[in-house]
Amino acid sequence: MTDQSDIEIFILGTTYPLRGGLATFNERLAQAFKDAGYRVTIYNFSLQYPSLFFPGKTQYSTDPPPVGLNILTKVNSINPFNWIKVGREIKNKRPLLLVLRYWMPFMAPCMGTIARIVKKNHFTKIVAIIDNIIPHEARFFDTCLSKYFLGSCHGFVAMSKSVLEDIGRFGNRKPRKFYPHPLYDTYGKPLSREEACQKLDLDPSFRYMLFFGFVREYKGLDILLQAFTDKRFEKLPVKLIIAGEFYTNAEPYRKMISDLNLSERIVMHNSFISNSEVPAWFCASDIIVQPYKSATQSGVTQIAYYFEKPMIVTNVGGLPEMVPDGKVGYVVEPNPKSLADAIYKFYSLGNTNEFVQHIKKEKQKFTWEGLIRTFEEFL
């Protein structure tokens, strides 16, 4: 591959004007392919989810569009006639590589059908980035859908070893490779703590720990709230920030906060956090807490690495792979006592600088250039 400028790479997945971590990742992946000299096109969804099935307030971003990316908004996730049309279009354009971003079985019929049509050109390599084979909140038909999708690809990239193992459990012997989730490095320069607190109207005399991102049952916010009732925290000037939109009923959590007398120690921001707002939330916080009950990998972890923030994560899925215990934070069991012990240990020892030095070294593993090289191994 001496002249990569003649090589076309297509990505099929969520991107602007759709919002969220998937869109941010796909845009950054496209830029990484461009930086490596490839010509890149993203096939985006004209309809990602029917509004009836979408738990958030809106699917669309309020941020400015990404600069310099070729985005074709053409894919309808629920229209088989559209899948055939898009599949034929990509088949005839003959990109060397089609990257599919697979994150839930709902997308299997759409993506699997498009990929099967593209394969008929006997030229395009089809490689999927697998976030979840079986979702955190699984349904009985998810396995069948994922099998259909896996059968349409030539190979797979997983960003956690647990997902790599899950692919193998489906009896699939196609090539599969592991590469850790690269850093989200698109948020600009970090803010000072003082500036971040000012932007968010937070009292700088308090310390803050952050629970960030969409709130779903599997993310364990209830465990964190129970942990925060530990009597040791009553003497510490520490508050918990919950920043993110609820993708589940918020009332049980609000009731728990009230019943546990935590209202004065919680900062609740129940709405989607746009990319431009992300730096303030992370830079105002001392530590990022991910009390998940199940997980594969997490984009929140990679944002924390970018802003060089220590983390407390639970010992589930791929999280322990990403957060070496005692070096960049703590890995604990997903229960209130273990979580409370780790939080108290962090604030009582005051060894943030030691964590940050390890973070600076560890985050060098998570490069976009490395992910591009992983894809090139399939070609």
pLDDT tens string 81-111? 999 999 999 999 999 999 999 988 999 999 9
370: in domain: no
The CA distance from 3 to 96, in Å, is 13
- Nearest-CA neighbor of 128 among 110, 106, 149? 149
- The boundaries of the domain holding residue 282 are 193-365
The CA distance from 54 to 189, in Å, is 33
- Please give the average per-residue pLDDT across 24-49, as a whole number: 94
Q: Residue 337 has what pLDDT?
A: 98
Q: Residue 51 has what pLDDT?
A: 64
Q: Residue 49 has what pLDDT?
A: 72
Strand, coil or helix: what is 353?
A: helix
At 308, phi and psi to the nearest 5? Answer: 55, 50
148: in domain: yes
Could you tell me which residues are beta bridge partners of residue 313?
290, 331
Q: Is the pTM of this model over 0.85?
A: yes
Last residue of a domain, one of 153, 178, 203: 178
Same-domain check for residues 161 and 198:
no
Distance of CA 66 to the CA centre of its chain: 18
- Sequence-distant (≥ 6) Cβ neighbours of residue 266 within 8 angstroms: 239, 240, 241, 242, 257
109: in domain: yes
186: in domain: no
In this predicted structure, the answer to whether residue 153 has a pLDDT above a threshold of 60 is yes
Distance of CA 30 to the CA centre of its chain: 16
- CATH number reported for the structural domain that contains residue 316 in this entry: 3.40.50.2000
Same-domain check for residues 166 and 222:
no
Same-domain check for residues 149 and 233:
no
What confidence tens digit (pLDDT) does each residue in 223-259 have?
A: 999 999 999 998 899 999 999 999 899 999 999 999 9
- Please give the average per-residue pLDDT across 205-232, as a whole number: 96
187: in domain: no
How many domains is the chain built from? 2
The strand order across the sheet containing 176-178 reads 70-76, 39-47, 8-12, 97-102, 125-130, 155-158, 176-178
Strand, coil or helix: what is 85?
A: helix
- Sequence-distant (≥ 6) Cβ neighbours of residue 372 within 8 angstroms: 32, 33, 36
Cβ atoms of 21 and 299 within 8 Å: the answer is: yes
Same-domain check for residues 148 and 207:
no
Same-domain check for residues 169 and 229:
no
Cβ atoms of 100 and 12 within 8 Å: the answer is: yes
Helix (H) or strand (E) holding 96: none
Last residue of a domain, one of 178, 202, 229: 178
In this predicted structure, the answer to whether residue 199 has a pLDDT above a threshold of 70 is yes
Indicate the average pLDDT of the chain.
92
Q: Residue 61 has what pLDDT?
A: 65
Last residue of a domain, one of 178, 203, 229: 178
379: in domain: no
pLDDT category at 196 given cuts 50, 70, 90 is very high
In this predicted structure, the answer to whether residue 209 has a pLDDT above a threshold of 50 is yes
- In terms of pLDDT, which residue wins out, 21 or 135? 21
The CA distance from 98 to 10, in Å, is 5
The CA distance from 320 to 43, in Å, is 33
pLDDT category at 296 given cuts 50, 70, 90 is confident
Same-domain check for residues 167 and 228:
no
- Please give the average per-residue pLDDT across 323-333, as a whole number: 97
The CA distance from 254 to 262, in Å, is 10
- CATH number reported for the structural domain that contains residue 35 in this entry: 3.40.50.11930
Q: Residue 60 has what pLDDT?
A: 67
pLDDT category at 146 given cuts 50, 70, 90 is very high
pLDDT category at 53 given cuts 50, 70, 90 is low
256: in domain: yes
Q: Residue 174 has what pLDDT?
A: 93
Q: Residue 1 has what pLDDT?
A: 44
